[in-house]
A and B are shown apart, each in its own frame.
Chain A
Amino acid sequence: MSEAVATSAPTWDRARVLRWTRDNGVYAALVLLLLYNLFFTPRFMTWSNLEVQLTLSTRVIVVALGMAMVIGTGGIDLSVGAVMALAGGLLVQFSGVNGYVAIALVLVGGALVGALNGVLVGYIGVQPIVATLAFLFAGRSIAQLLLAGKNPSVSDPVVLGVAGNKPLGIDGLIWAALAAIAIVAFLMRRSTYGRRLLAIGDNSRASFLSGVPVAPTLVLVYVASGVLAAWAGVMDTSSITSANALSSGLNYELFAITAVVVGGTPLTGGRVRVLATVAGAILMQLLRSTLIFHSATDAISQMITAVVIVVAVYIQRVRKRA
């Protein structure tokens, strides 16, 4: 039974190089980009700039964590950007109540949207891309109705504190993202739910036949994505100190998917790479700002983003054949 032994001798053949690239490519790319900036971009490699860059990537990180979980089940969640906008609208609605309660209510709102998506996908069997597309449009419209076309500013100290406080001198948004990373990493590593989520993504039929509650688990996955998106919306509103139904979270579903894909999580499901997703989000942010430092136009910047995505997807493709 020679085929039982899968790992080949440690020679650096093509397949092995590609496998290494798939597993560590995002980190390698991050290191290379930082080295490049160290030598070729003046004023880039300073603590203050790096903290700014990290802070800028935190919202995408938080949304991308939820997206990675959904993608782990073989699905996709296009509603996250709209949920961010909705979170801002809801925060304004709850401006009378205690800030903690208001934030909790906003997260519940995100959970409800996720539950709706999850029921459509898990129980009714709607394709994830279609089920969540509906709320991509509906969510932003609801936010617009809530805000009545205005961009009201937020004054609650608790809400403003999310981005404004700097514990240990580190930006509040970074702490907010770290909290989300810790929770998701814990869920994926230790919880029954995390294992089931991956099992469903790898083989949904087999999971069902092994007693995995497939539909309820799917609902909870979309709920997680909704809550994380709502949290990102709170972070966004806190950071710009006002709610904006039109711009908050705009295109974030695409940024999140990009971060997940660049991080090496396969779109086919069965695997979720939490830290690599974080690295993917940071990489895309650094890439963008590097280009800005070198005065590249937006068009060039987007072209390069496209190339990175294509390369990431190409490496994924190799994985299937290897």
Chain B
Amino acid sequence: MPPTAPVLEARSISKSFPGVRALDGVSLTVLPGRAHALIGENGAGKSTLIKILTGVYQLDEGTLLHRGEQVAFTEPRAAQSAGISTIYQELDLVPLQSAARNLYLGREPRTRIGLVDFKKMRRDARALLADYGIDADVDAPLASLGLGTQQMISVARAVALDANVVIMDEPTSSLEAREVETLFAIIERLKAAGVAIVYVSHRLDELYRVCEDVTVLRDGKMVHTGLMADLPRLQLVATMLGRELLEQTRRERAEGEGPDPDAEPVLDVRGISRRNLLHDVSFQVRPGEVVGLGGLLGAGRSETGMAVLGAQEIDSGEVVVAGRPVRRNSPAAAIEAGVAMLPEDRKLAGILPSMSIRDNIALAALPRLSRLGLVSDKRIDEIVAQFMKQLSIRATGPAQKVGTLSGGNQQKVMLARWLCLNPKVLILDEPTRGIDVGAKAEVRATIDELAAQGLAVVLVSSEAEELVDESDRIVVLKEGRVIDELTDDHVTERHLMQAIAGETDEAEQTPAADEQTPTPDEQTPAPDEQHEGGADDE
């Protein structure tokens, strides 16, 4: 393709939030008539970049060029009137108004005397939707339509707004397979009309199918940009997860270290399923074993952890701890059975920010520290003192509010909350995210120590290096299914990347089977990426 002038160009953009440098000198060049894949794991800075491109955030440093001219979008409306549309969040849509009104919001056709021409609006809306193969009642309130249809209407609106750049953030996460095809057809039409697409997704198949260009972000920095065709899948996954060399292998285990291979599994997950989220997920963990859950964002790793804790509802399957099935959908029952979990989002799902270290540690253990409904403060104080020392929690004292602690110390308080229960199974969801290097090493050392003491550990981590280093085995998930299990010598970054990228080993490769699947996207896509995608950068 001949080089054309970029329609939208970000040059060395930086953006900081209190305590975080979300973007650090990131550049992005979006060419007309092409789709540009913008990829990266959680916290890579995708959302921040998009919000700057669309006027939601203001950049701290760098320049933004639109059609060769420097621009500063001070609000979403400014970006929109310049022709930059987003369909990631229906920011400007009104859920209770009809589809037709939403399509023409803010630019309604007028009659001669200046009133809204509803007749023309509905006629045009119907024509527009029919043109794109979207089957929807234009009079129905937007909120009453399916999520997929809403999203298609959002796309149609972007097109109707004469957009020159359309940003799509995980556009297929709530679409059915048939709708995905419709969307791709629309994207091709947009490209043919010279519109530039910025496409954010974790579905590699889609990226290779739709996009010509690619930019990879990691930890707020741009780590790769170029042609999609020049970046092999394995390389893409490696770049995204930050491991170009793929040299990390499982940490050497000392003699006698590691799980007893003959021990009965203490955690036995048997075929748990949840509509659109998890499909027949099974795995076992023995005492002293660390099993990693690998996969990309939205693969169902956190959901699996939550299901074991009983906080993610499941439709079928069961979780067996120490030989006994755990009552479904009840965290209290799972905790009683010996399950403990450090959730991914510490702020949202972990800490009680305005309560003391003491109250935070004692929370899960309250039933055990109480008699006849009354708390024994003496026993709480003993346990709190013991764990604050054992995990070296740095604070002014047990009365300090957890919200005022550093991330690493908050994480240690969370660990103490669970360890004081003497659990059998510990699920760690991104235990080292957002904490400093020193605290990271401490948390990792603690994981090793706990496993050595016979705890069964399930580790979810987006850091391939950490996952490979810590795990005895890795269960690889993709779109809610277990697609691979890495054991022994296969617990390496290379094997992990290959499994995630969907590349099988040389020996096992069956080229015929590969060619028979021209559209690898035929399964119903899981909508689970929605909330995870939304939590990006927060």
Contact = CB atoms under 8 A, between A and B. Distances in A.
A195 B375 contact: yes
A23 interface: no
B406 interface: yes
A303 interface: no
B129 interface: no
A131 to B, nearest CB: 23
B355 interface: yes
A152 interface: no
B144 interface: no
Interface in B363-408: 363-364, 366-367, 370, 373-375, 394-396, 400-401, 404-406, 408
Contacts of B364: 210-211
A15 B332 CA distance: 40
A210 B331 contact: yes
A198 B359 contact: yes
B406 A1 contact: yes
Nearest to B369: A192
B196 interface: no
Contacts of B31: none
Interface bracket on B: 35 or more
A1 B341 contact: no
A206 B348 CA distance: 7
A199 interface: yes
A153 B406 CA distance: 63
Nearest to A196: B366
B311 interface: yes
Interface stretch (A3-11, A33-41, A116-124): A3-11
B395 A199 contact: no
B309 A202 contact: no
Interface residues of A, number: 27
Contacts, number: 94
Interface centre among B352, B362, B405 (most CB of A within 10 A): B352
Interface in B240-262: none
A206 B351 contact: yes
B379 to A, nearest CB: 12
A199 B341 contact: no
A192 B396 contact: no
Contact of A270 (B331, B341, B354): B354
A5 B359 CA distance: 18
Contact of A207 (B348, B352, B408): B352
A133 B349 CA distance: 30
A202 B366 contact: no
A209 B331 contact: yes
A211 B406 contact: no
B359 A4 contact: no
A276 B124 CA distance: 63
B350 A206 contact: yes
A4 B309 CA distance: 30
A3 B335 contact: no
A196 B417 CA distance: 14
A195 B394 contact: no
Contacts of A212: 332, 363, 366
Contact of A193 (B351, B373, B394): B373
B366 A203 contact: no
Interface string A160-195: 000000000000000000000000000000111101
A4 B405 contact: yes
B40 interface: no
Nearest to A2: B406
Contacts of A202: 352-355
Interface in A182-239: 190-193, 195-196, 198-199, 202-203, 205-213
Contacts of A6: 396, 400-401, 404
A207 B332 contact: no
A271 interface: yes
Given A205-B348, A209-B341, A213-B332, A192 B366 contact: yes
B83 interface: no
Contacts of B171: none
Nearest to A200: B352
B375 A206 contact: no
B353 A203 contact: yes
Label chain A's interface by main secondary structure: helix
Contact of B375 (A5, A7, A191, A271): A191
Contacts of B405: 3-4
A317 to B, nearest CB: 15
A198 B394 CA distance: 24
Nearest to B418: A210
Contacts of B408: 1
Contacts of A205: 348-349
B343 interface: yes
A208 B348 CA distance: 12
Contact of B373 (A7, A191, A208, A210): A191
Contact of B363 (A1, A3, A199): A199
Contacts of B375: 190-192, 195
Contact of B404 (A3, A195, A196, A199): A3
Contacts of A211: 331-332, 334-336, 364, 367
Contacts of A193: 373
B362 A195 contact: yes
Interface string B23-55: 000000000000000000000000000000000
Contacts of B335: 210-211
Contact of A4 (B334, B362, B395, B417): B395
Contacts of B401: 6
Contact of A192 (B350, B353, B374): B374
Interface in A123-139: none
B302 to A, nearest CB: 12
A199 to B, nearest CB: 6
B150 interface: no
B357 to A, nearest CB: 11
B363 A7 contact: no
Contacts of A190: 374-375
Interface centre among A192, A198, A202, A206 (most CB of B within 10 A): A206
A270 B355 contact: yes
B336 A198 contact: no
A199 B400 contact: no
Contacts of B417: 210
B461 interface: no
Contacts of B404: 3, 6
A3 B311 contact: no
Contacts of A207: 352, 363
Contact of A195 (B311, B348, B366): B366
Contacts of A210: 331, 335, 363-364, 417
B409 interface: yes
Contacts of B406: 1, 3-4
A203 B341 contact: no
A133 to B, nearest CB: 22
Nearest to B401: A6
A109 B378 CA distance: 37
Interface centre among A6, A192, A199 (most CB of B within 10 A): A192
21 contacts: A1-B409, A4-B405, A6-B404, A7-B396, A190-B375, A191-B374, A191-B375, A192-B375, A195-B375, A202-B354, A203-B351, A206-B349, A206-B352, A206-B363, A209-B309, A209-B341, A210-B335, A210-B363, A211-B336, A270-B352, A270-B355
CB-based closest 3 A-B pairs = A6-B404, A211-B335, A211-B332
Interface of A: 1, 3-7, 190-193, 195-196, 198-199, 202-203, 205-213, 270-271
Given A4-B395, A190-B375, 16 more contacts: A1-B406, A3-B405, A3-B406, A4-B396, A5-B395, A6-B396, A6-B404, A192-B370, A196-B366, A199-B363, A206-B349, A207-B363, A211-B331, A212-B366, A270-B352, A271-B354
